[in-house]
Homo-oligomer: A and B are copies of this chain.
Amino acid sequence: MKTHVVIALPDWFPELDPTQQCADDEAKLRFVIGLAMRNVEERTGGPFGAAIFDGDGRVIAAGVNRVLPETCSAAHAELLAMIGAQRRLGRNRLNGNGGRFVLATSAQPCCQCYGACVWSGIDELLIGARAEDVMALSEFDEGPLPADWIGELERRGIAVRRDILRDEACEVFRRYASLCGPSY
């Protein structure tokens, strides 16, 4: 059998509505925090959600953490959103045609997804919970990043905005801990 990779999203995952727009940063974060919380409530993966939006605020693709259900340490929300968007648009660099693309994520990307952002063709990264929130509220670790991780992205044309709906984003981790206990 030829080796290949297949990663599925959970059964409850919403069909994307092409008419729905998340015009501002808060609307984008509300959408991905909602995905993260639903993933926790349904027990279909870790407490993380992410989505790619185009310049008009339309969702191109979205993802949630699927590490345990898919037996795949790489199946993070951000990576699934980026790959889904690239497939949908038929470009391995989302902004390769001059368009503008935003990745919104419920929590600061880990070291893997941080690196994946660099190649994905996004112009903007919107973050809910900070790394220190994630580590204070859960046993998840962000892994090793460059000391000036924001500056490294900005020098590559990716603007970073943090603390968008930070309290709501933190609530996902509290709910995860209350459902799954301290030693999930």
Which partner residue on chain B sits nearest A113 by CB separation?
B115
Please determine whether A4 and B5 come into contact, CB atoms closer than 8 angstroms: no
Are A119 and B115 in contact, with the CB atoms below 8 A?
A: no
Closest B-chain residue to A155, C-beta based? B144
- What's the number of copies of this chain in the assembled complex? 2
Of the 9-residue stretches A26-34, A76-84, A98-106, A162-170, which lies at the interface with chain B?
A76-84
Is B121 within 8 A of A73, CB to CB?
Answer: yes
A7 and B9: CB pair below 8 A? no
Interface presence of A114 (CB below 8 A): yes
Q: Is A161 an interface residue (CB 8 A)?
A: no
Interface flag for A116 (CB, 8 Å): yes
A182 contacts partner chain B, Cβ-Cβ < 8 Å = no
**Are B72 and A83 in contact, with the CB atoms below 8 A?**
yes
| A68 part of interface (Cβ distance < 8 Å) | yes
**Contact of A18 with B by CB under 8 A:** no
A125-152 Cβ-contact flags toward B at 8 Å (1 or 0): 0000000000000000001111101001
Q: List A residues 1-32 near B (Cβ within 8 Å).
A: 2-9, 11, 13, 16
Interface residues of A in 58-84 (CB under 8 A from B): 61-63, 67-68, 71-74, 79-80, 82-84
Contacts of A79 in B (CB 8 A): 74
- A97 to chain B minimum Cβ distance, whole angstroms, is 13
Q: Are B6 and A2 in contact (CB under 8 A)?
A: no
* Contact of A111 with B by CB under 8 A: yes
